[in-house]
Amino acid sequence: MTPYRVRIRPLSAFGTRPLGDTLFGQLCWAFRNRHGVDRLGQVLDGYTQGRPYAVVSDALPPGYWPRPSLPVACFKVEGEDRKAVKKLAWLPAGRFADPVGTWLLHSLPPGVVPGAAPASHPQPHNALNRETGTTGTGQFAPYAMDQWWFDQKPKQAGDPPPGIRLDIYVVLDESRLSDAELRTLLDDIGAVGFGRDASIGLGKFAVESLEPVELPGQPDADAWLTLAPSAPQGCGFDPGRSFYQPFTRFGRHGDIGVHLPGGPFKAPVLLAQTGAVLTPREFAPRLFVGRGLGGDGSLSKTIEKTVHQGYAPALAIRLPEPKDAA
């Protein structure tokens, strides 16, 4: 498998944050729409047995890596302002080779990293009562939903955020999907729109480049830093030396899946947030960690073969001991 870096330029607001597991889900729908159900089934063969055809990262700000979810005791900290320390979420890529215990000295808050802190703006919506031709109360009351802009504020409705780029890392099995095919699928997603409210113009982006890269790693690495939400359960990681923030993904089917009998909602999935530090009992080089979920009807009664990306591209790091940062 080969890691690729995909650079995209947002063309509109987003209704869904572009995280790795949701990007993978839309990649599967784009694959189905272009190549058909049968070939999608072929590339998904072995997905839950550790053989994914693609592992997709979050859309990350270029030149930065997410700060690992380690206890503050593992870092050298200047001053005693713990709230300020928690906001230091992004490490400049040029500092990756430094000891992990010193990363907080160089990390930056999202507000000063272009593309790391999209601004949320409420967008009003109306639901019309067809009997009265107007809005009303209850299910017909006006409501607002957030839109995410990768600029401080949109100038006018529909304006693209200027100058912002985002990087998506894809670990690709080229024996099942070529880089040219991946580029075409991502172009399809960008043209149609990613995530919620794509049908009314959200989630548009342009693919500017797709190129193979080498994911960085530290000498004498013994742990992994994840670049997407992941499912570490049952993977044999050392629980005493693995650190992450759990969250529950309440997934929904996209595309035509919202119209199928059984409804759009999928079973909740427990995941570790991006930036998890996962330590194997025996370290060996690899490009991704985690496991594939579903495929057996456990995630969806609407589409029983539904899978969910519990894999994540990963960077090899040397885990510090708390005493090393003292």
Average pLDDT per 10 consecutive residues for the chain, totaling 326 residues: 96 93 96 94 95 97 95 76 80 95 91 86 81 81 83 54 86 96 97 90 94 96 97 94 95 79 88 97 95 91 90 95 57
Check residue 152 and give its pLDDT.
Answer: 47
Check residue 309 and give its pLDDT.
Answer: 97
Check residue 320 and give its pLDDT.
Answer: 84
Check residue 308 and give its pLDDT.
Answer: 96
CA 147 to CA 30: how far, in whole Å?
Answer: 23
Question: Which tokens is 300 given?
Answer: 């969806």
The partner residues of 149 in beta bridges, in order of sequence, read: 119
CA 66 to CA 104: how far, in whole Å?
Answer: 11
Which parts of 92-222 fold into alpha helices (H)? 179-192
Q: 251: helix, coil or strand?
A: coil
Instruction: Spell out the residues 6+ positions from residue 200 whose beta carbon is closer than 8 angstroms to its own.
Output: none
pTM of the predicted structure, to 2 decimals: 0.90
Question: Which tokens is 30 given?
Answer: 């784009």
Question: Which tokens is 260 given?
Answer: 């199928």
The partner residues of 167 in beta bridges, in order of sequence, read: 7, 60
Check residue 254 and give its pLDDT.
Answer: 80
* Residue reference for tokens 């996209």: 254
Question: Which tokens is 110 given?
Answer: 């999202």
The partner residues of 146 in beta bridges, in order of sequence, read: 122
Contact 123, 201 (CB under 8 A): no
